[in-house]
Amino acid sequence: MTHSNQPYIGRFAPSPSGELHFGSLIAALGSYLRARSQQGIWRIRIDDIDSTRCIKNADSQILNALEQLGFTWDGAVTYQHQHTNLYAEALERLLNNNQAYGCQCSRRKLKNLQGVYNGACRFLKLDPNQNGIRFRNTRQDNVIFDSVQGQHDISLPFAAQDFTLKRRDGIISYNLAVVIDDIEQGITEVVRGADLLDSTIHQQQLYLACDHPYPKWLHLPLALDISGYKLSKQNKAKPLDLHEPQKTLIQALNFLNQPTFAGMEELTPASILRYSIANFDVQSIPKKRK
C-alpha cells in the first residue's frame, strides 16, 4: 500500500538541536536531489516536538546554511509545534478505536527492558490523560522495502512491541509526530539517514492504523565520525564550514557517490546543485559508508 501516480513530494526535517553538520547535509542533499530530479516538490519542516532538545535560533542557522549552499524549498517552512492539535486528534482517534492505551511505566523501568516494551500496562485501563500513551500493536510485520537499502528485516520483538505515542512528560513521540506531519504535508517519499530505518516499521504500522497509504522509503548511508559513531548534534558534530560552500557540497556529493568533475568548485553552489539534479543517480548511492 504505497502512493502511485502522484506528483512527488519530498521533505527535509531537521531537528533544531544544533547547527547544520555534515550528517544532516547528507539528508538535505539526498532528499533534495531525489525530489528535484523528478520535478518534485521539496519541503522543509523543523522537527521541534521535543522541546527539551531544541536550541534557540538553531532553526534559522540551519535555514541560512541551506541558503548559502544554494538550496531552494517550496512553500513556507513548517514547525511541528504548529501541529499539536493534529497530534492530539490522532491520539484521540487511536484511543477511541482501542489502538492505544495509557502506560505508567517509568523511563528507568523501560531501560531495564533493553529496548523492547513488555506490554505491562496493556490491560490496566489507565487514564491516558494522566499517563504516557502507547500503540496497541497487533501487527506481526517486520520488513521494510527501501529504495537504497533494499529489503530490511527488523527483529520481530522490536517491530511488534507496543511503542510510545506520547511520553509520560507529555511530549509526543517522534514516530507519531512524523507520521501525522508527513500525511498532512502529502509526502510521497521519505528520504533520510539510515539511523531511522528500524523505527520506520512503527511508522508504517501507524500509517496502516490511520488508514493511510504509507510513503516510499529511502534511507541514506550515515556519516560516521572517526570512532564509528553517527555524526549528530548530540555527538557534537562540527557545524559546516560555509566559507567554501562549493567544497562542502562536493564532499557531500562524493559521500553519496554522485558525479563530480575537476573544476566543479568554480561553479556557484546553485549551479553545482543544478548539475547534480540533472545527473542524479539513485543506484549509485551506497548502502553504508565507512
CB of 122 vs ligand GLU, minimal distance in Å: 27
Query: Between residues 196 and 249, which has the closer beta carbon with respect to ligand GLU?
Result: 196
Pair 165, 91: CB distance under 8 Å: yes
Find the shortest distance in angstroms from Cβ 181 to ligand GLU: 9
Nearest distance from C-beta of residue 91 to ligand GLU, angstroms: 19
Strand partners, 45: 78
The answer to whether the beta carbons of residues 66 and 28 sit under 8 Å apart is yes
Q: For residues 131 and 149, which CB has a smaller minimum distance to ligand GLU in the complex?
A: 149
Q: Which of 113, 112, 54, 103 is nearest to 81 (CA)?
A: 54
Nearest approach in angstroms of CB 196 to ligand GLU is 6
Say how far apart CA 55 and CA 10 lie, in whole Å: 25
Q: Cα-Cα-Cα-Cα dihedral of 120, 126, 130, 131, to 10°?
A: 20
Residue (28 or 103) nearer to ligand GLU, CB: 28
Number of neighbouring beta carbons within 10 Å of residue 181: 23
In the complex with ligand GLU, which residue's Cβ is closer, 71 or 101?
A: 71
Query: How far from 196 is each of 53, 109, 146, 259, 285, CA to CA, in Å?
Result: 18, 24, 12, 26, 17
Residue identified by cell 501487527 is: 139
Please, which residue, 28 or 272, has the CB nearer to ligand GLU?
A: 28
CB of 35 to ligand GLU, least distance (A): 13
* CB closer to ligand GLU out of 121 and 177: 177
Instruction: Kindly state the smallest distance separating residue 131's Cβ from ligand GLU, in Å.
Output: 26
Cβ neighbourhood burial of 132 (10 Å; 0-12, 13-18, 19+): buried
Nearest to 163 by CA among 178, 149, 174: 174
Residue with cell 484511543: 95
In the complex with ligand GLU, the residue whose CB is nearer, 102 or 193, is 193
The residue with cell 517519499 is 189
The phi, psi pair for 178, rounded to 5°, reads: -65, -35
Give backbone dihedrals phi and psi of 55, rounded to 5 degrees, phi first: -115, 135
Min separation Cβ 52 and ligand GLU, Å: 14
Contacts to ligand GLU by CB under 6 A? 13-15, 47, 178, 192, 196
